[in-house]
Structure 1
Amino acid sequence: MTTGASTPSFSTRPRRSRLRTFLPLGIVAWLVLEIWLLTVVAGAASGFVVFLLLLAGFVLGSVVIKRAGRRAFQNLNEALQRGGSPSSGGGNGLMMLGGLLLMIPGLVSDAVGLLLLIPPVQKAVAGYAERTVDRKLREAASGSLGDAFQQARIHRPDGKVVPGEVVRDEPGTYGDTPRGPVPPLTH
């Protein structure tokens, strides 16, 4: 016997973001490019030259990170001694990123890391990052509180969206437990 009422079934999954779709492909392409470039350099020169290049990149990257970290810590100390708030960093974050890219084995990452150590490039990248973050914050703030609650739903693996609340019913926390009832709030 069937009734006319049935629950709708949502079998479609939500769309993946572009970043989640293309980031793994980009990482794999970058790794293949790095390995190919290292083999080309090893074929043109020798394996020992490639080893020396990778070692020099690691040493230079560690020096850059140490210097940028020391400068950031010094800026923080000076700001705290003056009683003010710390500044935005003054390019130390991009210097650390450049040092990290130098430390990662590969010639493309070394080239990008060296580019990030050039002050005009740092200024351009910092400006672009700041504009992007400001735009994303404005987009996030333009939504209403209802939109935030709409996004805070539980997504089940089968694609169904279940609005809900987590209630923990553990002994010793509420109600008639060995500790007794929770006293009412009086104010």
Structure 2
Amino acid sequence: MRLLLFLAFLLVPVLEIWLLIQVGSVIGGWPTVGLLVVISLLGTWLIRREGRRAWRNLQDSLQSGKVPDRELADGGLILVGGVLLLTPGFFSDVLGLMCILPFTRPAMRRLGTWFFDRRVKKMAAASPYANLFPAPPGAAARPDAPQARVVHGEVIREDPDA
């Protein structure tokens, strides 16, 4: 995971700069800057619109007594998309738009669910407390889990009055 983060922080800025140079060489420097400003303004408008919609859906879900899992995920995606849209660069703008637009957000939500589900399972398996609880019925026990030793005995309580 650390290697992936290192590569992301190293490669994404290089990709952004390369893409800015490529676009700038095709349409010119000032039009490229103008395009980045227009995308940021469009992103700000989209963030406000979709943020209000997500907030309204969250409130409706809470008032109806439903667990707002989808609504909270949408709010998080809109937040991440807003940060990406405010970052200058075309690659981050595309990712930000994918997080914000209502027709691409479900795919991003599924991708996030898959990633975090996989990460939580990996962390739970590596936990030192993973062997304290038995596997749920129907689930296979971990093959590397040590077998617990059962010690039969008797509890003797001494009465202080005796």
**Normalising by the residue count of structure 1, what TM-score does the alignment of the two structures yield?**
0.55
Aligned equivalents of 1:53, 1:124: Cα separation in 2: 26
Partner of 1:122: 105
Match of 1:99 among 82, 91, 99: 82
Match of 2:57 among 70, 75, 89: 75
Displacement, 1:103? 2.0
Kindly provide the CA deviation profile for residues 21-68 of structure 1, in whole angstroms up to 9, marking residues without a partner as x. Answer: 342333222112211221232232222201111101211221222122
Which one-letter code corresponds to 2:61 in the other structure? A
Contact 1:64–1:95 (Cα < 8 Å) also in 2: no
Partner of 1:49: 31
Answer with 1 or 2: which has the greater Rg: 1
Matches within 5 A, 1:1-187: 19-89=1-71, 91-116=74-99, 117=101, 119=103, 121-142=104-125, 143=127, 145=129
Displacement, 1:131? 2.8
Contact 2:62–2:68 (Cα < 8 Å) also in 1: yes
Contact 1:58–1:102 (Cα < 8 Å) also in 2: yes
Partner of 1:162: none
Contact 1:42–1:50 (Cα < 8 Å) also in 2: yes
Report % sequence identity.
35
Aligned equivalents of 1:128, 1:110: Cα separation in 2: 18
Unaligned runs of 5+ in 2: 133-162
Q: Which has the higher helix share?
A: 2
Unaligned runs of 5+ in 1: 1-18, 149-187
Contact 2:80–2:96 (Cα < 8 Å) also in 1: yes
Which one-letter code corresponds to 1:66 in the other structure? R
Contact 1:99–1:113 (Cα < 8 Å) also in 2: yes
Contact 1:60–1:99 (Cα < 8 Å) also in 2: no
Kindly provide the CA deviation profile for residues 62-83 of structure 1, in whole angstroms up to 9, marking residues without a partner as x. Answer: 1222122212221232234335
Provide the aligned C-alpha RMSD in A. 2.9
Partner of 1:11: none
